Amino acid sequence: MPHLTSGPQGRYTDTPPSRTSEIEDAEELLVRSGRQAKRFWGGFLDFAFQGNVLEIAFGLILASMFTAVVTSLMTDIILPPLSVLFPLNKNLEEKFAVLKPGESMSNGGGGGGGGGDGKGGNYNTLKQAQEDGAVVMAYGFFLNRVLNFVGVGLVLYSMAATYQFFSQEPIIKRKVKCRYCRKEISEKAKRCVNCTSWQDGREDRHF
């Protein structure tokens, strides 16, 4: 049966069945797309805002600020006295070795006295060598980052141990090896989560 649609000047015209089917398919596709978009958006909201988002955000902000404070403690307070006590002659970050001199050194130019660690080139600072295009091994910068990592780790461990001592809440979960499968399990585990063996010795009594 032909489908009647309103044409120009209020006249009704017959719409072919194929055209009607295309219109219905387009409407169905539009409705389905809207549902999928709504479902996708709802899933995103559930994923992004599950749990206490503010608590997580505050924790991340405090963690970044704490890391900056400990890094400053290591770089600005602890390492400078060590540079004076040991024969470093300068801050640890400025210790480097010139593997290949830069353009000015290759052309016979001078860059001041005593470079880096006294090995190749006459650069006073690491920045000066890098700006000249020299190939350098910045081992002092690396050692400084290693010391910062160790310092942050020790401070965090001390804070966790102190909090655990006063609150009696386990934060530091110590590990031991299962006496049968030798895989790491919790120190307080009664059975191994890997081989399901009892840790109180009852397994030995069955043999």
**DSSP code per residue over 7-47:** -GGG-EEEEPHHHHHHHHHHHHHHHHHHHHHHHHHHHHHHH
Topology adopted by domain 53-167: 1.10.1200
Residue extents of the structural domains in the chain = 53-167, 174-207
Residue among 66, 92, 89, 67 nearest 78 (CA): 92
At residue 120's C-alpha, the angle toward residues 88 and 133, to 5°, is 105
β-pairing, 135-137 with 184-186?
unpaired
Q: What confidence score (pLDDT) does residue 137 get?
A: 92
pLDDT more than 70, % of the chain: 77
Q: What confidence score (pLDDT) does residue 61 get?
A: 92
Q: What's the half-sphere exposure (Cβ side, CA atoms, 13 Å) at 111?
A: 28
Q: What confidence score (pLDDT) does residue 20 get?
A: 76
Helix, strand, coil percentages, rounded to 5, for the chain = 55, 10, 35
pLDDT band at 119 (very low <50, low <70, confident <90, very high): very low
List, for residues 157-185, the tens digit of each pLDDT value: 888 888 888 887 777 778 888 888 888 88
List, for residues 40-83, the tens digit of each pLDDT value: 988 887 777 766 677 788 888 988 898 888 888 888 888 788 77
Residue identified by tokens 């709504």 is 38
CA quadruple 127, 129, 135, 140: dihedral positive or negative?
negative
List, for residues 3-25, the tens digit of each pLDDT value: 455 555 555 455 566 677 778 87
